[in-house]
Structure formats: C-alpha cells, structure tokens
Structure 1
Amino acid sequence: MSAHPPPRDEVPGVAGRPRRRWWTARRVDSLAGYLFIAPQVLGSIVFVLVPLGMVFYYSLHEWNVLAGTFHFVGLDNYRQLAEDPNTPSVLRATAFFSAGLVVLDLALALLLAVLLNQKIRGIAFFRLLFFSPVVVSVVAWSIVWGFLLQDNGGVNGILHAIGIDGPNWLRQGGTSIVSIILVQVFKNVGLNMVLFLAAMQGVPPQLHEAAQLDGAGAWTRFWRITMPMISPTILLASIITIAGSLQMFAQVSVLTQGGPGNATNVLVYYLYQQAFQFHHFGYGATLAVLLFGIVLALTLVQWRMRRKWVMYEV
C-alpha cells in the first residue's frame, strides 16, 4: 500500500478508485480570470454592443416622438441619406475639420514633445502649462474662445493694436471652421504631447550616443532612431485623434451652431439636429450608422497600414 497522498485534484472514491475533485486548481484560476474581466465585458455589452444594435434597429424605422408613431420603413432612411442635399456639404465639412485637426494636432504635439524633452531647469512648468487645457471643461473652453473670436473680441483687439483689421472669425465661412480647428488643437494638443514625450523618454540613450559617435546629426538621429522607436505611440495617437475629431460636437454647438450656412455643420452636429431638433430619430440613427462606418473604416485602414510604418510590426 502506497504511503503517498492522492494528487491534489483527486479524492478517494468508491472501491479505491480516485474521484476527481470538481473545483480543481485550473478551474479556480479560470474562474478568477473570468471574474476579473466580467466588469469590462458586461460594460462593453450593455453600453456598446446593445446601443449599437439598437441604433441599427432604429435606422430601419421612422420614430416620431411628438406624434407617438413608430413604424418600419426598411431602407428608406438610407435612400433619404443618399438623396439629402445637405449630405455632400456635411461630409465635406467633416472631412476638412478632421484632416485639419489631425494634422495640426499631431504635428504640434510632436514638436512640443521634442522641445520639452530637455533636461533643463524649470521644464516641468512648461509641460504643465501645455497640458493644463486638457483638463479644462470643453464647454467652458469653447465659451471663452467664443468671446475672444467675436468681431470685437480679444483676438481682433490684439490684431487691431498692431494695425491689422481682423475678420469676424466665427461668422465667415472661410474662417469659422479654421477657428474651431485651432480652438480644439489648443485644447487637446497637450494629451498627444504627453504621449509622445513619454515615448521619447523611453528611447534608450545608448542608441543616440552610438549614432552621434558615428557622425549622425540631430535630424538624422531623430528621423532614424526616435521616430521608429515612437512609431507605436504615433499610431495610437493618430487612431485616438481621428476618432475624436469625427465626434466633435460641443465646440460646434457652442461656437457656430453649424453656421454660417453649412460651413461648420459636421456630421455629429447634423445628427443632433435631425434627431433632437427636428425629431427625426430614425434618420438620426441612420446618420449615426454612417458615422460608425466612417470611424470603423478609418481605424481598420490605420491598423492595416501599421505594418508599413510601425517599427515593431515590420
């Protein structure tokens, strides 16, 4: 008769045959893992997948809250979207706003990160200075800039002091959307700046020292060493910035309300108008589906292109 105890996952059974314990160590570990991810999974189901499915469902219906009607219309809302005379101008404003915001935000954030990645006294103050607008309320930030960009506001006052007659920034089609882009860039550039700064500080200094000994200049070291090393962070920042630029609402609502004309009537604000001002909830859901498709397509394109310019994916 063996003096060794039964294995950990086995207990004595009938006629001397071992009976496996149901609560094995592997099952306990698996249960712990499922419990850890359960809040995130449940949150994604309740707050992402279910609302997304409901949006698709509502886009196939016409729901008039004021009249109390809700009936199935099939693809009529999508046909209306294709025939809507405002669709081209809305998509054009959305594309211009998103492209301008992404290019300026990423370029300025990268420049600031390079300038602030220095070991000099007092540099922490400037890092805090550029990051502080990120924590300011979007509505409060937009209201302040609304006053500054008025015809007789602070910006034109400064320009007038140096002999320049500034335009009415928010009431002219050529300057209104540019003004909103700049307001948003100043608001959020600090976030990407911090991401780039953290990535740059993670680059091994030995690589720069070796390149410098080989005669590489500052620009060569930045382009050949720093940029490849921080390329995963650039990918992350670009995905976040593009998705965020397509969902800008508060700035347009506070500063221009989509005007003048449709110059700043981006897709999210047009969606709001149709659903909550004109009470066309079915058509608003259709615009939401269009927005989801655009964000998804751009994200997938960036994710596929990562193999060409992200160092760790090559």
Structure 2
Amino acid sequence: MALGLRAAARTAREGRTGWWTATRRDHLVGYLFVAPQVAGSLLFVFLPLALVLWYSLHEWNVLADTFGFVGADNYRHLLADPNVPKVLTATALFSAGLVVVNLSLALLLAVLLSQRLRGTVVFRTLFFSPVVVSLVAWTIVWGFLLQRDGGVNALLQAVGVEGPNWLRTGPTAMASVIAVQVVKNVGLNMVLFLAALQGVPKELYEAATLDGAGAWTRFARITLPMISPTVLLTSIITVAGSLQVFAQIAVLTQGGPGTSTTVLVYYLYQQAFQFHHFGYGATLSALLFVIVLALTVLQWRLRRRWVFLES
C-alpha cells in the first residue's frame, strides 16, 4: 500500500512538471558547466584549424590584394621546397636537444632539491625565477651576453679562454639557443618533478635500503616508475613547446647563420609575414600541426610500455 502511494505521488509530480524532470535538469547543469570549454575549443582551436586548411588551398597576396583558389599547389610546393629538409633538420635538432637537456636537468635538480638540506628553498626560487621573466626581455639580455664581446666571452677571457662568436657560427648558434631556452624553462619542469617526488612513499625507500639497494637502484627501480606519469606529462609539454619556438630564434639568430637555426615556426613566419605568401604559410602551419599531433599521439600510445600502472 505504501509503495503504491509513493508511486502515485511520484507520477503526479512528474505529470505536473511535464518534460522538465530532475534528470533533464541535471543534464542541463552539466552542459552549462562544459559550455565555456566547448565554446573556447570551437572558437580558438577548431575554427582556426579549419581556416588554416582553407587558406592552405588558396594563394593570398595582401600587397597585390589577390585571393585565389590554387588547390593542392601549396602542398606540391611544400614537397618540392629545397629549404624544407633543412628546416625540418634544424627543428629536429633543436627539439631533441631541448627535450633531452631540459628533462634531464629538471629531474636532476628536483632530486637534489628534494633533499632536506639547508638553503634548498633559496635554490628552488633561484631556478624557478626565470620562468616568470618576460620571454622577450630574457632573450634580449642573453643576446647581449652571447655577442663576441659580451659577458660570456668576458668571463671566459678572464680564465684565459677565447670564446667563439656564439650566435654567428652554426653549431654554437644552435647550442646557444637551446641553452637559453633550457635555462628559461627548466624551473617549470623542476617544480612538477618536485611535486611528484613528494608523493613517493618513503616506506619504499626504507624497505629498499634494508634490502641493500644502492642509491642508483632506488632511483631506477622506485623513483622513476613512481613519477613516470609526471615524466609523461612534462615530455608531452616540452616536445610540443619545442616545436613552437619562435621568439628566441627571431631575437637571437634570425634563423642564421644560413638556415642552421631556421626552425619550422620561424620559416612559417618568413613565408607568411616577410614574403607575404600566406597560403604557403598556412600550408606550413598544417605541417606543424600534423607533426605535433603525431608526436603527441606517439608518446601517449607508448605510455603503456613505461608509465607505471598503465595497461
């Protein structure tokens, strides 16, 4: 009898509310919460991508005020462009050097600064402070320091070493740009690794020490597996960021000497905004998107092999 009365009352309430049920109200609340993110993705991610693909099928010359459909001509030009292999090689060298040095140094600093020693707070602040400095200001200062008569060579000369013209020779120019970028952003990955290290249970280290495991064994068998999700996160962020570097190249080397430091984004800028080939610049943007997407998906798929507790 009681169940029958409750069912009748529920039916009466549903009849009064019509289609506006509690379930629909909950769904609406959920949609409203995700609406800003969806709108932002549509306006600032998917719409620009669609426009890039549209422009890549056209040739747009702002100076001549012409805009015409050329089909796949820009993509054929991309395959025949003799500078593209050099640009991709410089991009690969920069990205590989930056990712390896940045992640290795950030992890080393995080392990050292996670020790309970005096002065670690000061060093954490010191290493993280470049992250909050303006990128352009940071790069301009380093441009002065790396000149032939700049501060770096002055320090080397003080100890009897004659430094090279860092930004005007191929190998040292690429190494200099990588070093400037590493010092600028290593603090961010260091902080992420520090947070991950604090989450590793101390009992695991104590048990390994009692079993006779050395420092390297504890690091390789306990630390790295436990912080591997953070390693995955930092690697994806660093790889994607390294492929989109622009300000450092524009300020320090302008892609030179020759094309030794002309990475893909800077070459895109040259084609679109210096030579006014906006259609070809959009084609290079599409190439950059494909490369970033492919590397991100590859890292995400490989996580099952080395990220702890992934299957």
TM interval, shorter chain, is: over 0.9
Question: Which residue identity does 2:199 align to in structure 1?
Answer: G
Question: Which residue identity does 2:95 align to in structure 1?
Answer: S
Query: How far does residue 86 in structure 1 lie from its aligned partner after superposition?
Result: 0.8
Q: Is the counterpart of residue 222 in structure 1 residue 203 in structure 2?
A: no
Query: Which residue in 2 is equivalent to 1:142?
Result: 139
Query: Which residue in 1 is equivalent to 2:12?
Result: 11
Matched residues in 2 for 1:55 and 1:7: separation? 59
Query: How far does residue 28 in structure 1 lie from its aligned partner after superposition?
Result: 1.5
Query: Which residue in 1 is equivalent to 2:190?
Result: 193
Question: Which residue identity does 1:137 align to in structure 2?
Answer: S
1:116 to 106, 113, 118: 113
1:264 to 261, 271, 289: 261
Q: Deviations over 1:157-194 (max 9, x none)?
A: 00001010100000111210110000000000001101
Kept after mapping to 2: 8 A contact 1:150/1:169: yes
Question: Which residue identity does 1:92 align to in structure 2?
Answer: T
Question: Which residue identity does 2:132 align to in structure 1?
Answer: V
Secondary structure in structure 2 of the residue aligned to 1:151: coil
Matched residues in 2 for 1:116 and 1:279: separation? 49
**Structure 1 residues 12 and 162, CA, compared in 2 at 3 Å: closer, same or farther?**
closer
Matched residues in 2 for 1:241 and 1:234: separation? 10
Query: How far does residue 5 in structure 1 lie from its aligned partner after superposition?
Result: 5.3
Secondary structure in structure 2 of the residue aligned to 1:313: coil
**Structure 1 residues 7 and 236, CA, compared in 2 at 3 Å: closer, same or farther?**
farther
Matched residues in 1 for 2:38 and 2:107: separation? 34
**Structure 1 residues 9 and 303, CA, compared in 2 at 3 Å: closer, same or farther?**
farther
What is the Cα-based RMSD across aligned positions, in Å? 1.6
Q: Deviations over 1:191-239 (max 9, x none)?
A: 1101111001000111111111111111111110110000010001000
Stretches of structure 1 that go unaligned for 5 or more consecutive residues are none
Matched residues in 2 for 1:119 and 1:68: separation? 65
Kept after mapping to 2: 8 A contact 1:259/1:265: yes
Stretches of structure 2 that go unaligned for 5 or more consecutive residues are none
1:156 to 153, 157, 179: 153
More helix by share: 2
1:276 to 262, 273, 278: 273
Secondary structure in structure 1 of the residue aligned to 2:213: coil
TM-score (normalizing by structure 2)? 0.96
Matched residues in 1 for 2:241 and 2:268: separation? 16
Secondary structure in structure 2 of the residue aligned to 1:11: helix
Kept after mapping to 2: 8 A contact 1:10/1:20: no
Secondary structure in structure 2 of the residue aligned to 1:298: helix
**Structure 1 residues 237 and 8, CA, compared in 2 at 3 Å: closer, same or farther?**
farther
Q: Deviations over 1:73-97 (max 9, x none)?
A: 0110011111111111111100000
Secondary structure in structure 1 of the residue aligned to 2:68: strand
Matched residues in 2 for 1:312 and 1:247: separation? 31
Kept after mapping to 2: 8 A contact 1:11/1:21: no
TM-score (normalizing by structure 1)? 0.95
Matched residues in 2 for 1:177 and 1:7: separation? 77
Q: Is the counterpart of residue 299 in structure 1 residue 296 in structure 2?
A: yes
Query: How far does residue 11 in structure 1 lie from its aligned partner after superposition?
Result: 2.6
Matched residues in 1 for 2:13 and 2:89: separation? 74
**Structure 1 residues 164 and 75, CA, compared in 2 at 3 Å: closer, same or farther?**
same
